[in-house]
Amino acid sequence: GAVVSQHPSWVICKSGTSVKIECRSLDFQATTMFWYRQFPKQSLMLMATSNEGSKATYEQGVEKDKFLINHASLTLSTLTVTSAHPEDSSFYICSARVGLRGPHPGELFFGEGSRLTVL
Amino acid sequence: AQSVTQLDSHVSVSEGTPVLLRCNYSSSYSPSLFWYVQHPNKGLQLLLKYTSAATLVKGINGFEAEFKKSETSFHLTKPSAHMSDAAEYFCVTAGYQKVTFGTGTKLQVIP
């Protein structure tokens, strides 16, 4: 199947700093990418949906100025946690939906996730 | 609107016995349904998917699921549990612009 690479896998930062997480589709073009957050012992919560070249659509309750999402190309989306605080510590996962052309049309693939710890 | 309901938050089975993880869906159209597994501190791994082809879907590691429209169910099964199956399992439904996760079922395998 197709591969979605997330980087970094682990990141520790100081409170008040910003952290960028990258999500790349390695062998396909992703027309849509999704960002999720997983709280301990809970299901994944969709944070936002991003389409290449347009603004992300955020779910209710997600601060768009806090969690900046950029989907500048068909193979890369980034999530920047700005002015991170300890309560932002979480497991963040991205997924990418394959375009309708090429192999696996319309399918969804997930990254391995990024664990953020804010001290 | 689309949604999935995982009926059990925890399932405990003995090694070598069958596994049944239940999922019911709600969708106004023919859904795409997936089962994912997540081991501790790891990302999601696709077990299997249903996309309106065969109703019985075979996945990796001996798992399979049957799409039953009359029951709006997509239960995940495995004939014989292995210790390495202990993980959290998510039932997922996906439209083109929306993906909805179930609340997850934690599978415990007792030696």
B44 to chain A: which residues are within 8 Å by CB? 44, 93, 95, 110, 113
CA distance B101 to chain A (A): 7
pLDDT grade for A8, boundaries at 50, 70 and 90: very high
Would you call A24 an interface residue with chain B, using a CB distance cutoff of 8 Å? Answer: no
The pLDDT score that the predictor gives to residue B95 is 67
Residues 6+ apart with CB under 8 A from B77: B18, B19, B20, B21, B63, B64, B65, B66
The pLDDT score that the predictor gives to residue B1 is 66
Q: Do B99 and A108 touch (CB under 8 A)?
A: yes
Q: Do B104 and A43 touch (CB under 8 A)?
A: yes
The pLDDT score that the predictor gives to residue B32 is 83
d(CA A46, CA B100): 8
Q: What is the mean pLDDT of residues A102-116?
A: 78
Instruction: List, for residues B45-84, the tens digit of each pLDDT value.
Output: 889 988 777 889 999 999 999 999 899 999 999 999 999 9
Residue with the larger pLDDT of the pair A8 and A103: A8
Q: Would residue A52 be called left, alpha or beta, if left means φ above 0 and alpha means ψ between -120 and 50 degrees?
A: beta
| Backbone angles phi and psi of B100, in degrees to 5 | -125, 125
d(CA B31, CA B56): 15
Instruction: List, for residues A42-101, the tens digit of each pLDDT value.
Output: 778 889 998 888 889 999 999 999 999 998 888 999 999 999 999 999 989 999 887 766
Q: Which of A35, A44, A112 to mutate to test the interface with B (most CBs of B within 10 A)?
A: A44
The pLDDT score that the predictor gives to residue A103 is 64
The CA-based angle B4-B5-B8, given to 5 degrees, is 145
Helices (H), B1-111: none
Residue B1, token pair as written in the block? 């609107």
A49 to chain B: which residues are within 8 Å by CB? 97-98
| Backbone angles phi and psi of B62, in degrees to 5 | 80, 5
Residue with the larger pLDDT of the pair A37 and B44: A37
> Cα torsion at A92, B98, B92, B23 (round to 10°)?
130
d(CA A26, CA A8): 15
Res. B86: pLDDT tops 70: yes
Are the C-beta atoms of residues B110 and B12 closer than 8 Å to each other? Answer: yes
CA distance B38 to chain A (A): 10
Would you call A113 an interface residue with chain B, using a CB distance cutoff of 8 Å? Answer: yes
Res. B96: pLDDT tops 80: no
Are the C-beta atoms of residues B74 and B19 closer than 8 Å to each other? Answer: no
CA distance B89 to chain A (A): 10
